[in-house]
Structure 1
Amino acid sequence: MAGALLLSMGATNNSIAQSADRPWGLSLYASANQARTNVRNDMWDMSNSSWGGGLAINRYLSPSFDLSLQLNYFNLKQDAPFVTWRTTGYGPGRFDDEVGTANLAFKLKMNNGKILKEESFIKPYLVAGLGLQYASVEAYLPVAIPGGTREEKWDEGLLRMNYMGGAGLGFRITDGISLFVQSTLNYPTTDLLDGISNEQSDELNDRYLQHQFGLSFGLGKAKDTDGDGVSDRRDECPDTPAGVQVDKKGCPLDGDGDGVADYLDKCPTEAGSAALEGCPDRDNDGVRDSEDECPDQAGPAATRGCPDADADGVADKDDKCPGTPAGTRVDASGCPVVVDRDGDGVNDDVDKCPDVAGSAANMGCPALDAADSTYMARVPKIQFEFNRAVLKPVSYGTLDRMATMLGKYPHYNLRISGHADHVGSNEYNQELSLRRADAAKSYLIDKKGISTDRILTEGFGEERPIAPNTTNAGRSQNRRAEFRLFIQ
């Protein structure tokens, strides 16, 4: 009985069907074996081959290396009319061996991404390893007898180490199946495969070629998270939505090559930009050509991509009143819509008081009456205590009058400007002047109920004196707040 269990370094069988996606593989193959012994040399002579077969369990290690456990069973036999047989003299003889080997082998792959692509169709490799060989030797030896010779059977089982090395070619059929052919030289550590021992030398002459051809299968299924048919290891777009067609890299098809996948591309046959969902925009105005009424002239989306020089919302090609002032209400032809609800001659689109008759000089709002206008021309300056934002009582009358006018003219707002004398640093006086303006504002809000959004405050520090700062009286006048009514 012949059997073998051995480990020999070198993935003898092609593991093309193996990859990082399918790290384990199985190879099934037939083998033709050609021996060189003391009987004769049959190497590379296919007419004197003996046949066998085997299987291998393969493991992917890296793009350059695979590991394989290979189990082989085959027959070796030869005969010769005249040789020197072990201890029996000369004469015809023959042997017929059953051989089993177990090898563990490393394979150096050329399709490692450096010499050839991993996915190349042809995949050359080198293989080397060692293992164990068991041979059941049956040698028929000539024995001298009176008047001639007789044949005597010599039967022995030999368990020895086996060294092997060679090369092969793989041919990719699919991602999981490959065809391979391989030739290795096997060198067992025995000289008795033929039953002959060369008593004149310690050299081991017995060796044999093994030519294998068969199929390798990747075991398991490559991980494909997005289910697009491209394994995660090779998928450059691993999150492709279900049902989307992809290329060999696992990325969605992009027929027009504009960087927008066909399934997202609103114009899949025309190169465009991602900002416009893959559609072209010749004039670069942000409006896709298919929706642009003026595809060769830049214009806003509001006028469907056509120019609108006066920005009135009517494209120049349709505008019968080009150059309309900004903010003017226009009709469909681009001409101003004349609306004047209060009948003061100021159109509502520019009238700050569209429901109260006023004047064009006052932006459509009524002006102050003569008494109030005269008062505002020389309104008393309110004053503050030295180095403080505290109103002097003399200022209350002025603030009360301001509150009255704000109630009388609801379309006006009030600006309060705070000032300081020159005592102290510029920075301090700037901050002090603003606090004084805020103190006046607080009086109007808290004491008179004026809305806070009708009063603006500002501070000028010591920059705008109205009296010399060389006297106490002058400095007192400079500690002040001033007022101006205005229409927003």
Structure 2
Amino acid sequence: MNFNNIRVYFALFPILLCTAVSAQTVDSRFVAGLSAIFMDYQGPISGDYLQYKTFSPGISVSAHGYVNPLLNISVNSAFVPETNYPLGNGEFLSTAVTDVNLVGQFKSNNGKIFKEQAFFAPYLSTGIGLNAASNNLRWYVPAILGMRFRINQHVSFNLEGAYKFAIDGKQQHIAYSGGFVFGLPSNQPSQRPPQNRPAEPSQLISQADKQLDTDGDGIPDVDDRCPEERGLVTFFGCPAPEESNEPPQEAPKPVYAETSTEEVVIKPQPLEEPEILDNTLTKNSQPSQADIDFLAEAMDNVYFDVASNELTPDSYKVLDRVAEILKKYPDYKLKVSGYTDNQGGEKTNKILSVTRAFNVKRYLVYQKDIPLSRIISNGYSSAKPIADNSTPVGRSKNRRVEFELVR
């Protein structure tokens, strides 16, 4: 084995890895992988599958496509610059090997065994593969056991062990690999399917009342970006900037803070008025009954991710129509009211209802050019239920955002 080649390979590997990292973006149904692979043909012959001296290092690249919560489709390609390839009768050929396979990856983080965003996610893969060594081409069926460790929403670390059954009964071999997978670039919104109606955080975070709040601003340290400085919900727990009145460009995550049982009005910091491009508005017009009916029904079609104030992709279609209606009637303002069911504590539901209504307002202002002064948003927790909170169906109806045109 040529160890100079091996040293060159390991010198190039970090460079390739850094190149892959810099090319990634968030939230995609497709990911790419880069791994170190160690291949052995002698283990299956001798029965010693862990004799490291017989393993030959190489590099592997892969692409993975999301099919559904249970299944991914993966294409993997590996190159080993030098290995001992068996020719039969105890003879081996020192040669480079190229290996390609197409497999289905059956995941355990499918929402039933582990959550989709779980840190630890075992999986099984099988399919069809082909390896080429010198003039020898061999088809095989891989049996792969893998383990994926989620580092963050963009990057995961993979470990795999594979036994590759040669279809012609010869040249069975084993391979071990370890490397990273990264989200591929995408300009599309999250493809997660909308929930029928999300559960409240009180149903999922049972220890919210016990979270530490060092600076005493009512925002627990786990959600506070400035845990040692008193701040505002709008600025993720940080003080308002002195030189800018703009809040952060991304929507704030839900926070769980101490509030009183009285109705609380949480006012975000002032936003900048966007430039209005539509100069065709007609004043003194009265809303049509069709538009009023649409706004009344819109609350049944605006969804949020589970235990979150983030809007799902399907909600934007409804909000786009709400913006069109608002532009038709410049003499009117839009009142956006957020509500929850009665499950859990009032303090948690109050914050969630306020931030959900505020994120609707943020979208209409920044994405649809609606003047800030024309939208009034607030949250009312579990007040004013429209259905029976003692049943799951009733609670689902009570988790809503309502729209109303007002003078």
Q: TM-score, normalised by structure 1?
A: 0.37
**More helix, by proportion:** 2
Higher-Rg member (1/2): 1
Q: TM-score, normalised by structure 2?
A: 0.43
